[in-house]
Chain A
Amino acid sequence: MLKVLAIAGVFVATGAMVSAGASVWEPSPARQAELYNLVVQDCGSCHGLTMKGGLGSALLPKNLEGKDAEVLVEIVLDGLPGTPMPPWRSQFQNGEARWIIDQLKKGLPQ
Protein backbone atom coordinates (compact mmCIF):
# COMPACT_ATOMS: atom_id res chain seq x y z
CA MET A 1 0.00 0.00 0.00
CA LEU A 2 2.80 2.37 0.97
CA LYS A 3 4.50 1.66 -2.30
CA VAL A 4 1.33 2.39 -4.25
CA LEU A 5 0.94 5.68 -2.40
CA ALA A 6 4.57 6.51 -3.00
CA ILE A 7 4.23 5.80 -6.71
CA ALA A 8 1.04 7.82 -6.89
CA GLY A 9 2.89 10.59 -5.06
CA VAL A 10 5.72 10.57 -7.58
CA PHE A 11 3.14 10.59 -10.35
CA VAL A 12 1.36 13.60 -8.85
CA ALA A 13 4.66 15.35 -8.35
CA THR A 14 5.88 14.74 -11.89
CA GLY A 15 2.42 15.59 -13.20
CA ALA A 16 2.75 19.01 -11.61
CA MET A 17 5.87 19.64 -13.64
CA VAL A 18 4.22 19.29 -17.03
CA SER A 19 6.03 21.63 -19.37
CA ALA A 20 4.45 24.22 -21.61
CA GLY A 21 2.68 22.76 -24.62
CA ALA A 22 1.55 19.66 -22.71
CA SER A 23 -1.84 19.29 -21.07
CA VAL A 24 -2.55 21.56 -18.16
CA TRP A 25 -5.57 19.64 -16.97
CA GLU A 26 -4.90 16.88 -14.45
CA PRO A 27 -6.95 14.00 -13.09
CA SER A 28 -7.46 13.89 -9.33
CA PRO A 29 -4.68 12.16 -7.37
CA ALA A 30 -6.92 9.11 -6.77
CA ARG A 31 -7.75 8.87 -10.46
CA GLN A 32 -4.08 9.33 -11.36
CA ALA A 33 -3.24 6.29 -9.25
CA GLU A 34 -5.99 4.32 -11.02
CA LEU A 35 -4.78 5.41 -14.45
CA TYR A 36 -1.21 4.61 -13.51
CA ASN A 37 -2.25 1.08 -12.55
CA LEU A 38 -4.23 0.73 -15.78
CA VAL A 39 -1.34 1.92 -17.96
CA VAL A 40 1.24 -0.31 -16.29
CA GLN A 41 -0.91 -3.41 -15.81
CA ASP A 42 -3.44 -3.40 -18.65
CA CYS A 43 -1.64 -1.48 -21.39
CA GLY A 44 1.40 -3.36 -20.09
CA SER A 45 -0.13 -6.71 -21.07
CA CYS A 46 0.70 -5.89 -24.69
CA HIS A 47 3.23 -3.04 -24.38
CA GLY A 48 5.20 -4.58 -21.47
CA LEU A 49 4.99 -3.51 -17.83
CA THR A 50 8.11 -1.43 -18.41
CA MET A 51 6.73 -0.15 -21.76
CA LYS A 52 9.54 -1.89 -23.67
CA GLY A 53 6.97 -3.40 -26.03
CA GLY A 54 5.49 -6.81 -26.67
CA LEU A 55 2.73 -7.59 -29.12
CA GLY A 56 2.24 -3.80 -29.08
CA SER A 57 4.94 -1.21 -29.78
CA ALA A 58 7.43 0.04 -27.23
CA LEU A 59 6.16 3.22 -25.52
CA LEU A 60 9.31 4.52 -23.88
CA PRO A 61 10.09 8.26 -24.16
CA LYS A 62 12.67 7.57 -26.89
CA ASN A 63 10.06 5.66 -28.91
CA LEU A 64 7.54 8.51 -28.63
CA GLU A 65 9.99 11.32 -29.17
CA GLY A 66 8.97 13.64 -32.00
CA LYS A 67 5.54 12.03 -32.31
CA ASP A 68 2.61 14.42 -32.20
CA ALA A 69 0.83 14.03 -28.87
CA GLU A 70 -2.57 14.66 -30.46
CA VAL A 71 -2.04 11.85 -32.98
CA LEU A 72 -1.07 9.50 -30.14
CA VAL A 73 -4.18 10.57 -28.20
CA GLU A 74 -6.29 9.69 -31.25
CA ILE A 75 -4.69 6.24 -31.42
CA VAL A 76 -5.48 5.68 -27.75
CA LEU A 77 -9.09 6.84 -28.14
CA ASP A 78 -9.92 5.26 -31.50
CA GLY A 79 -7.49 2.34 -31.67
CA LEU A 80 -5.57 1.22 -34.73
CA PRO A 81 -7.83 -0.73 -37.08
CA GLY A 82 -6.21 -3.89 -38.42
CA THR A 83 -4.13 -4.29 -35.26
CA PRO A 84 -5.03 -5.48 -31.74
CA MET A 85 -4.91 -1.86 -30.43
CA PRO A 86 -8.51 -1.29 -29.28
CA PRO A 87 -10.33 2.04 -28.96
CA TRP A 88 -10.19 3.18 -25.32
CA ARG A 89 -12.62 6.09 -25.71
CA SER A 90 -15.28 4.54 -23.46
CA GLN A 91 -12.69 3.95 -20.74
CA PHE A 92 -11.40 7.51 -20.37
CA GLN A 93 -12.85 10.85 -19.38
CA ASN A 94 -12.01 13.98 -21.34
CA GLY A 95 -8.35 14.81 -21.13
CA GLU A 96 -7.26 11.57 -19.49
CA ALA A 97 -5.79 10.11 -22.68
CA ARG A 98 -3.77 13.29 -23.21
CA TRP A 99 -2.57 13.13 -19.63
CA ILE A 100 -1.46 9.49 -20.14
CA ILE A 101 0.41 10.38 -23.34
CA ASP A 102 2.20 13.19 -21.51
CA GLN A 103 3.23 10.78 -18.75
CA LEU A 104 4.48 8.22 -21.29
CA LYS A 105 6.45 10.86 -23.17
CA LYS A 106 8.14 11.82 -19.91
CA GLY A 107 8.62 8.23 -18.83
CA LEU A 108 6.69 6.43 -16.11
CA PRO A 109 8.25 6.32 -12.67
CA GLN A 110 9.72 2.82 -12.28
Chain B
Amino acid sequence: MNGIFKSFFLAIITFVAFSLASWAQAAEALRATGDMGIIVERATGSVKIIETSGRTELRRVEGFGDLSHASAVYSRDERYAFVFGRDGGLTKLDILTGKIVGRVIQAGNSIGGAISQDGSLVAVSNYKPGGVKVFDSKTLELVADIPAIAEDGTRSKTIGLVDVPGQKFVFSLYDGGETWIADFSESRTPKITKFKNIGELPYDALVTDDGRYYIAGLFGEDGLALLDLWHTEKGITRILDGYGRGEEKLPVYKMPHLEGWAKAGDRLFLPAIGHHEVLIVDQRTWKEVGRIPVHGQPVFVVARPDGRQVWVNFAHPRNDTLQVIDVPSGKIIKTFKPGKAILHMEFTPRGEQVWVSVRDANRVDVYDTRTFKRLAEIPAQKPSGIFLAARAHRTGL
Protein backbone atom coordinates (compact mmCIF):
# COMPACT_ATOMS: atom_id res chain seq x y z
CA MET B 1 0.00 0.00 0.00
CA ASN B 2 1.55 3.33 -0.90
CA GLY B 3 1.79 6.20 1.56
CA ILE B 4 -0.93 8.43 0.07
CA PHE B 5 -3.40 5.60 -0.06
CA LYS B 6 -2.63 4.64 3.52
CA SER B 7 -3.17 8.11 4.94
CA PHE B 8 -6.37 8.48 2.90
CA PHE B 9 -7.64 5.22 4.37
CA LEU B 10 -6.71 6.34 7.88
CA ALA B 11 -8.53 9.64 7.36
CA ILE B 12 -11.70 7.81 6.32
CA ILE B 13 -11.54 5.55 9.37
CA THR B 14 -10.98 8.51 11.68
CA PHE B 15 -13.87 10.44 10.09
CA VAL B 16 -16.27 7.52 10.46
CA ALA B 17 -15.22 6.94 14.07
CA PHE B 18 -15.73 10.61 14.96
CA SER B 19 -19.08 10.77 13.20
CA LEU B 20 -20.32 7.73 15.07
CA ALA B 21 -19.15 9.12 18.39
CA SER B 22 -20.81 12.52 17.90
CA TRP B 23 -23.96 10.91 16.54
CA ALA B 24 -24.20 8.77 19.70
CA GLN B 25 -23.60 11.81 21.85
CA ALA B 26 -26.21 13.87 20.03
CA ALA B 27 -28.76 11.07 20.30
CA GLU B 28 -28.18 10.96 24.02
CA ALA B 29 -28.47 14.72 24.35
CA LEU B 30 -31.56 15.05 22.16
CA ARG B 31 -34.46 16.28 24.19
CA ALA B 32 -37.76 18.05 23.62
CA THR B 33 -39.04 20.81 25.89
CA GLY B 34 -42.74 19.89 26.25
CA ASP B 35 -42.36 18.92 29.90
CA MET B 36 -39.98 21.74 30.82
CA GLY B 37 -40.45 25.11 32.44
CA ILE B 38 -38.87 27.79 34.57
CA ILE B 39 -39.16 28.97 38.15
CA VAL B 40 -38.40 32.64 38.79
CA GLU B 41 -36.14 33.37 41.75
CA ARG B 42 -37.33 36.91 42.36
CA ALA B 43 -34.66 38.20 44.73
CA THR B 44 -31.57 36.90 42.97
CA GLY B 45 -32.46 37.69 39.36
CA SER B 46 -32.14 34.03 38.43
CA VAL B 47 -34.36 31.24 37.12
CA LYS B 48 -34.36 27.50 37.57
CA ILE B 49 -35.07 25.29 34.58
CA ILE B 50 -37.12 22.28 35.61
CA GLU B 51 -38.92 19.30 34.09
CA THR B 52 -42.23 17.86 35.26
CA SER B 53 -41.89 14.21 34.17
CA GLY B 54 -39.27 13.31 36.78
CA ARG B 55 -40.00 16.50 38.73
CA THR B 56 -36.41 17.63 38.83
CA GLU B 57 -34.34 20.72 38.48
CA LEU B 58 -32.15 20.75 35.36
CA ARG B 59 -30.12 23.90 35.85
CA ARG B 60 -30.03 27.38 37.28
CA VAL B 61 -29.35 30.47 35.17
CA GLU B 62 -28.40 33.92 36.45
CA GLY B 63 -28.32 37.35 34.90
CA PHE B 64 -31.95 38.43 34.55
CA GLY B 65 -31.72 41.66 36.57
CA ASP B 66 -34.54 42.70 38.91
CA LEU B 67 -37.22 40.02 38.87
CA SER B 68 -39.43 41.58 41.63
CA HIS B 69 -42.42 41.16 39.41
CA ALA B 70 -41.46 38.79 36.65
CA SER B 71 -43.32 36.69 34.13
CA ALA B 72 -42.50 34.74 31.00
CA VAL B 73 -43.95 33.64 27.67
CA TYR B 74 -42.63 30.99 25.28
CA SER B 75 -41.72 30.80 21.62
CA ARG B 76 -44.02 28.56 19.57
CA ASP B 77 -41.32 25.88 19.35
CA GLU B 78 -41.23 25.83 23.17
CA ARG B 79 -37.50 26.34 23.16
CA TYR B 80 -37.13 29.97 24.22
CA ALA B 81 -38.56 31.69 27.27
CA PHE B 82 -38.96 35.46 27.11
CA VAL B 83 -38.58 36.69 30.67
CA PHE B 84 -39.96 40.11 31.60
CA GLY B 85 -38.27 41.73 34.60
CA ARG B 86 -39.29 44.64 36.80
CA ASP B 87 -36.32 46.74 35.63
CA GLY B 88 -37.48 46.78 32.02
CA GLY B 89 -35.28 43.84 31.07
CA LEU B 90 -36.50 41.51 28.34
CA THR B 91 -34.37 38.37 28.35
CA LYS B 92 -34.51 35.51 25.87
CA LEU B 93 -33.49 32.22 27.44
CA ASP B 94 -32.78 28.99 25.57
CA ILE B 95 -34.21 26.46 28.02
CA LEU B 96 -32.46 23.55 26.27
CA THR B 97 -28.95 24.91 26.71
CA GLY B 98 -29.61 27.21 29.65
CA LYS B 99 -27.99 30.10 27.76
CA ILE B 100 -29.25 33.65 27.63
CA VAL B 101 -29.33 34.35 23.89
CA GLY B 102 -30.66 37.90 23.96
CA ARG B 103 -31.31 40.66 26.43
CA VAL B 104 -32.46 44.26 26.13
CA ILE B 105 -33.30 46.84 28.79
CA GLN B 106 -36.27 48.35 27.03
CA ALA B 107 -37.81 50.57 29.73
CA GLY B 108 -37.29 51.73 33.30
CA ASN B 109 -40.04 49.71 34.90
CA SER B 110 -42.13 46.87 33.45
CA ILE B 111 -44.92 44.57 34.46
CA GLY B 112 -45.19 41.74 31.93
CA GLY B 113 -45.55 40.73 28.33
CA ALA B 114 -47.13 38.63 25.63
CA ILE B 115 -46.20 36.85 22.40
CA SER B 116 -48.16 37.28 19.17
CA GLN B 117 -50.35 34.61 17.60
CA ASP B 118 -47.73 33.80 14.95
CA GLY B 119 -44.88 33.97 17.45
CA SER B 120 -42.99 36.68 15.60
CA LEU B 121 -43.60 39.55 18.02
CA VAL B 122 -43.03 39.94 21.74
CA ALA B 123 -44.80 42.82 23.48
CA VAL B 124 -43.88 44.30 26.86
CA SER B 125 -46.14 46.27 29.15
CA ASN B 126 -44.34 49.17 30.82
CA TYR B 127 -45.01 51.36 33.83
CA LYS B 128 -42.17 53.75 33.13
CA PRO B 129 -42.32 55.17 30.56
CA GLY B 130 -45.97 54.10 30.38
CA GLY B 131 -46.80 52.18 27.24
CA VAL B 132 -46.17 49.02 25.27
CA LYS B 133 -43.08 48.17 23.25
CA VAL B 134 -43.06 45.42 20.68
CA PHE B 135 -39.99 43.46 19.61
CA ASP B 136 -39.01 40.98 16.96
CA SER B 137 -38.94 37.64 18.76
CA LYS B 138 -35.91 36.42 16.79
CA THR B 139 -33.61 39.41 17.19
CA LEU B 140 -35.24 41.45 20.01
CA GLU B 141 -35.09 44.46 17.71
CA LEU B 142 -37.69 47.14 18.41
CA VAL B 143 -40.66 46.89 16.03
CA ALA B 144 -43.14 49.34 17.55
CA ASP B 145 -43.32 51.77 20.45
CA ILE B 146 -46.82 52.60 21.69
CA PRO B 147 -46.82 55.37 24.34
CA ALA B 148 -49.92 55.13 26.50
CA ILE B 149 -51.22 58.68 26.44
CA ALA B 150 -54.74 58.76 27.83
CA GLU B 151 -57.48 61.07 26.58
CA ASP B 152 -56.64 63.69 29.19
CA GLY B 153 -53.07 63.84 27.90
CA THR B 154 -51.39 62.06 30.81
CA ARG B 155 -49.05 59.16 30.27
CA SER B 156 -50.32 56.00 31.88
CA LYS B 157 -48.90 52.79 33.24
CA THR B 158 -50.10 49.84 31.18
CA ILE B 159 -51.42 46.59 32.59
CA GLY B 160 -53.25 43.44 31.49
CA LEU B 161 -51.35 42.95 28.21
CA VAL B 162 -52.46 39.82 26.34
CA ASP B 163 -52.21 38.38 22.85
CA VAL B 164 -55.39 37.62 20.96
CA PRO B 165 -56.14 36.01 17.60
CA GLY B 166 -55.64 38.12 14.48
CA GLN B 167 -52.09 39.15 15.42
CA LYS B 168 -53.34 41.63 18.01
CA PHE B 169 -52.36 42.67 21.51
CA VAL B 170 -54.83 44.10 24.01
CA PHE B 171 -53.87 46.09 27.10
CA SER B 172 -55.29 48.66 29.51
CA LEU B 173 -54.22 52.01 30.91
CA TYR B 174 -54.04 51.89 34.69
CA ASP B 175 -54.15 55.64 35.32
CA GLY B 176 -56.14 56.50 32.21
CA GLY B 177 -58.91 53.90 32.52
CA GLU B 178 -58.81 52.87 28.85
CA THR B 179 -58.41 49.62 26.90
CA TRP B 180 -56.45 49.60 23.63
CA ILE B 181 -56.17 47.05 20.84
CA ALA B 182 -52.92 47.10 18.82
CA ASP B 183 -53.49 45.28 15.53
CA PHE B 184 -50.34 44.04 13.76
CA SER B 185 -52.16 41.96 11.13
CA GLU B 186 -51.54 44.38 8.26
CA SER B 187 -48.13 45.77 9.08
CA ARG B 188 -45.54 46.23 11.75
CA THR B 189 -46.99 49.68 12.39
CA PRO B 190 -50.01 48.75 14.47
CA LYS B 191 -53.52 50.02 14.00
CA ILE B 192 -54.72 51.18 17.43
CA THR B 193 -58.34 51.05 18.58
CA LYS B 194 -59.16 52.75 21.90
CA PHE B 195 -61.98 52.21 24.35
CA LYS B 196 -62.36 55.03 26.86
CA ASN B 197 -63.87 55.31 30.34
CA ILE B 198 -63.75 51.59 31.04
CA GLY B 199 -63.67 52.22 34.80
CA GLU B 200 -61.37 53.37 37.56
CA LEU B 201 -57.88 51.94 37.94
CA PRO B 202 -57.91 48.74 35.88
CA TYR B 203 -55.23 46.70 37.69
CA ASP B 204 -55.00 43.54 35.57
CA ALA B 205 -56.88 41.79 32.82
CA LEU B 206 -57.36 38.41 31.24
CA VAL B 207 -58.68 36.90 28.07
CA THR B 208 -60.77 33.76 27.75
CA ASP B 209 -58.81 30.89 26.28
CA ASP B 210 -60.69 31.17 22.97
CA GLY B 211 -59.34 34.73 22.75
CA ARG B 212 -62.82 36.21 22.57
CA TYR B 213 -63.52 38.04 25.84
CA TYR B 214 -61.10 40.49 27.43
CA ILE B 215 -61.90 41.38 31.01
CA ALA B 216 -60.17 44.06 33.06
CA GLY B 217 -60.48 44.03 36.85
CA LEU B 218 -60.97 47.45 38.43
CA PHE B 219 -59.28 48.47 41.63
CA GLY B 220 -61.15 51.76 41.93
CA GLU B 221 -64.66 50.28 41.83
CA ASP B 222 -66.55 47.06 42.44
CA GLY B 223 -66.91 45.70 38.94
CA LEU B 224 -65.10 44.55 35.82
CA ALA B 225 -64.89 45.87 32.27
CA LEU B 226 -65.72 43.35 29.54
CA LEU B 227 -64.81 43.64 25.87
CA ASP B 228 -66.16 41.13 23.31
CA LEU B 229 -63.36 41.00 20.74
CA TRP B 230 -65.66 39.43 18.18
CA HIS B 231 -67.95 42.46 18.49
CA THR B 232 -65.77 45.40 19.36
CA GLU B 233 -68.44 47.73 17.96
CA LYS B 234 -70.46 47.05 21.11
CA GLY B 235 -67.71 48.62 23.18
CA ILE B 236 -67.06 48.00 26.86
CA THR B 237 -69.73 46.41 29.02
CA ARG B 238 -69.53 46.62 32.78
CA ILE B 239 -70.14 43.38 34.65
CA LEU B 240 -70.59 42.53 38.33
CA ASP B 241 -71.15 46.19 39.13
CA GLY B 242 -71.30 46.79 42.84
CA TYR B 243 -70.48 43.21 43.83
CA GLY B 244 -69.31 44.39 47.23
CA ARG B 245 -72.22 46.71 47.90
CA GLY B 246 -73.03 47.20 51.56
CA GLU B 247 -69.92 45.42 52.75
CA GLU B 248 -66.91 47.17 54.17
CA LYS B 249 -63.82 46.80 52.00
CA LEU B 250 -60.94 44.97 53.62
CA PRO B 251 -57.37 46.07 53.03
CA VAL B 252 -55.72 44.47 49.98
CA TYR B 253 -52.08 43.73 50.81
CA LYS B 254 -51.37 42.26 47.41
CA MET B 255 -53.04 42.92 44.09
CA PRO B 256 -54.93 39.95 42.67
CA HIS B 257 -53.69 38.57 39.36
CA LEU B 258 -56.13 37.79 36.61
CA GLU B 259 -53.79 35.69 34.53
CA GLY B 260 -55.07 32.16 34.34
CA TRP B 261 -58.70 32.32 33.54
CA ALA B 262 -60.54 30.01 35.91
CA LYS B 263 -63.22 28.66 33.67
CA ALA B 264 -65.30 25.62 34.25
CA GLY B 265 -68.09 25.01 31.76
CA ASP B 266 -69.96 28.29 31.49
CA ARG B 267 -68.87 29.45 34.90
CA LEU B 268 -65.95 31.73 35.56
CA PHE B 269 -64.25 32.17 38.91
CA LEU B 270 -62.80 35.56 39.76
CA PRO B 271 -61.12 37.10 42.81
CA ALA B 272 -63.14 39.81 44.57
CA ILE B 273 -61.19 42.93 45.60
CA GLY B 274 -61.35 43.89 49.27
CA HIS B 275 -63.59 40.95 50.07
CA HIS B 276 -62.50 37.47 51.04
CA GLU B 277 -64.54 35.88 48.30
CA VAL B 278 -64.32 34.18 44.94
CA LEU B 279 -67.04 35.40 42.59
CA ILE B 280 -68.74 33.04 40.15
CA VAL B 281 -70.04 34.46 36.88
CA ASP B 282 -72.19 32.78 34.26
CA GLN B 283 -70.47 33.44 30.97
CA ARG B 284 -73.71 33.31 28.99
CA THR B 285 -75.35 36.17 30.90
CA TRP B 286 -72.32 37.74 32.61
CA LYS B 287 -74.35 37.77 35.83
CA GLU B 288 -73.09 36.70 39.20
CA VAL B 289 -74.41 33.25 40.05
CA GLY B 290 -72.65 32.77 43.35
CA ARG B 291 -69.77 33.60 45.60
CA ILE B 292 -67.61 31.45 47.78
CA PRO B 293 -66.21 32.75 51.09
CA VAL B 294 -62.51 31.93 51.20
CA HIS B 295 -59.60 32.17 53.64
CA GLY B 296 -58.35 35.63 52.65
CA GLN B 297 -57.98 38.13 49.82
CA PRO B 298 -57.60 35.87 46.76
CA VAL B 299 -54.57 36.56 44.55
CA PHE B 300 -54.62 33.77 41.94
CA VAL B 301 -57.86 31.91 41.21
CA VAL B 302 -56.90 29.25 38.68
CA ALA B 303 -58.73 26.25 37.30
CA ARG B 304 -57.09 22.89 36.86
CA PRO B 305 -56.97 22.33 33.09
CA ASP B 306 -59.98 19.98 33.21
CA GLY B 307 -62.00 22.66 35.01
CA ARG B 308 -63.12 20.43 37.84
CA GLN B 309 -61.07 22.17 40.54
CA VAL B 310 -60.20 25.79 41.17
CA TRP B 311 -57.13 26.56 43.30
CA VAL B 312 -56.81 29.80 45.23
CA ASN B 313 -53.90 31.48 47.01
CA PHE B 314 -54.05 34.59 49.19
CA ALA B 315 -52.51 37.96 49.94
CA HIS B 316 -50.34 38.83 52.93
CA PRO B 317 -50.81 38.15 55.86
CA ARG B 318 -52.89 35.08 55.00
CA ASN B 319 -50.54 33.87 52.32
CA ASP B 320 -49.51 30.56 53.95
CA THR B 321 -52.67 28.81 52.79
CA LEU B 322 -54.04 27.18 49.63
CA GLN B 323 -57.67 26.30 49.08
CA VAL B 324 -59.19 24.02 46.49
CA ILE B 325 -62.75 24.55 45.30
CA ASP B 326 -64.68 21.63 43.84
CA VAL B 327 -66.39 23.21 40.85
CA PRO B 328 -69.53 21.01 40.57
CA SER B 329 -70.51 21.59 44.21
CA GLY B 330 -68.94 25.03 44.69
CA LYS B 331 -67.51 23.79 48.00
CA ILE B 332 -64.00 24.08 49.37
CA ILE B 333 -62.72 20.51 49.51
CA LYS B 334 -59.20 21.13 50.70
CA THR B 335 -57.42 23.76 52.79
CA PHE B 336 -53.77 23.33 53.50
CA LYS B 337 -50.74 25.32 54.58
CA PRO B 338 -47.64 24.48 52.54
CA GLY B 339 -45.66 27.35 54.11
CA LYS B 340 -45.27 31.12 54.34
CA ALA B 341 -45.83 33.29 51.28
CA ILE B 342 -47.33 31.09 48.59
CA LEU B 343 -46.93 33.22 45.49
CA HIS B 344 -47.96 31.17 42.49
CA MET B 345 -49.45 27.89 41.25
CA GLU B 346 -48.87 26.32 37.84
CA PHE B 347 -50.58 23.18 36.57
CA THR B 348 -49.00 20.69 34.22
CA PRO B 349 -50.86 20.81 30.88
CA ARG B 350 -53.15 17.90 31.72
CA GLY B 351 -53.51 18.89 35.33
CA GLU B 352 -52.25 15.89 37.27
CA GLN B 353 -49.68 18.02 39.11
CA VAL B 354 -49.58 21.53 40.43
CA TRP B 355 -46.32 23.36 41.17
CA VAL B 356 -46.54 25.80 44.06
CA SER B 357 -43.93 28.40 44.99
CA VAL B 358 -43.48 28.88 48.74
CA ARG B 359 -41.39 32.03 48.81
CA ASP B 360 -40.31 32.27 52.44
CA ALA B 361 -39.53 28.54 52.65
CA ASN B 362 -37.25 28.91 49.60
CA ARG B 363 -38.99 25.94 48.04
CA VAL B 364 -41.31 24.89 45.25
CA ASP B 365 -43.70 22.07 46.13
CA VAL B 366 -45.24 19.70 43.62
CA TYR B 367 -48.64 18.27 44.53
CA ASP B 368 -50.77 15.52 43.08
CA THR B 369 -54.05 17.33 42.35
CA ARG B 370 -56.15 14.22 42.96
CA THR B 371 -54.70 13.00 46.27
CA PHE B 372 -53.17 16.36 47.39
CA LYS B 373 -50.03 14.41 48.30
CA ARG B 374 -46.74 16.23 47.98
CA LEU B 375 -44.77 14.52 45.23
CA ALA B 376 -41.57 16.55 45.29
CA GLU B 377 -39.92 19.67 46.56
CA ILE B 378 -37.41 21.72 44.62
CA PRO B 379 -35.19 24.17 46.48
CA ALA B 380 -35.35 27.69 45.02
CA GLN B 381 -34.31 31.12 46.31
CA LYS B 382 -37.44 33.19 47.04
CA PRO B 383 -39.41 31.54 44.23
CA SER B 384 -42.27 33.47 42.61
CA GLY B 385 -43.74 32.75 39.16
CA ILE B 386 -43.62 29.27 37.64
CA PHE B 387 -44.01 29.12 33.87
CA LEU B 388 -44.20 25.85 31.95
CA ALA B 389 -43.28 25.70 28.28
CA ALA B 390 -46.74 24.36 27.38
CA ARG B 391 -47.95 27.95 27.76
CA ALA B 392 -46.52 28.41 24.25
CA HIS B 393 -49.75 27.03 22.84
CA ARG B 394 -52.25 28.92 24.92
CA THR B 395 -53.73 32.24 23.88
CA GLY B 396 -53.39 34.97 26.49
CA LEU B 397 -50.62 33.28 28.47
Interface residues of A (CB under 8 A from B): 37-38, 40-42, 44-46, 48-50, 52-55, 79, 82, 84, 86-88, 90-91
Contacts and interface: CB of A to CB of B under 8 A. Distances in A.
Contact of B69 (A40, A54, A88, A91): A54
Contacts of B68: 44-45, 48-50, 54
B157 interface: yes
Given A37-B360, A55-B127, A55-B157, A50 B316 contact: no
B175 to A, nearest CB: 10
A52 B254 CA distance: 18
Contacts of A42: 253-254, 316, 341
A88 B69 CA distance: 21
Nearest to B86: A48
B66 A52 contact: yes
Contact of A84 (B67, B86, B255, B359): B255
A42 B340 CA distance: 12
Contacts of A48: 66, 68-69, 86, 109
Given A46-B255, A48-B86, A84-B203, A54 B359 contact: no
Interface size class for chain B?
20 to 34
Contact of B109 (A41, A53, A84, A87): A53
B359 A41 contact: yes
Interface string B87-111: 1000000000000000000000101
A59 to B, nearest CB: 12
Contact of A86 (B43, B109, B174, B252): B252
What is the interface of chain B mostly: helix, strand, loop, or mixed? loop
Contacts of A91: 253, 316-317
B253 A54 contact: no
A52 B341 contact: no
A82 B359 CA distance: 29
Given A41-B359, A50-B87, 20 more contacts: A41-B43, A42-B254, A45-B254, A48-B69, A48-B109, A49-B66, A49-B67, A49-B68, A49-B86, A52-B86, A52-B87, A53-B127, A54-B86, A54-B111, A55-B157, A55-B174, A84-B219, A86-B251, A86-B253, A88-B251
Interface string B246-260: 000001111100000
Given A79-B251, A84-B203, A84-B255, A50 B66 contact: yes
B43 A53 contact: no
B276 interface: no
Contacts of A54: 68-69, 86, 109, 111, 127
A16 B220 CA distance: 41
A49 B359 CA distance: 14
Contact of A52 (B67, B109, B360): B109
Contacts of B86: 48-49, 52, 54
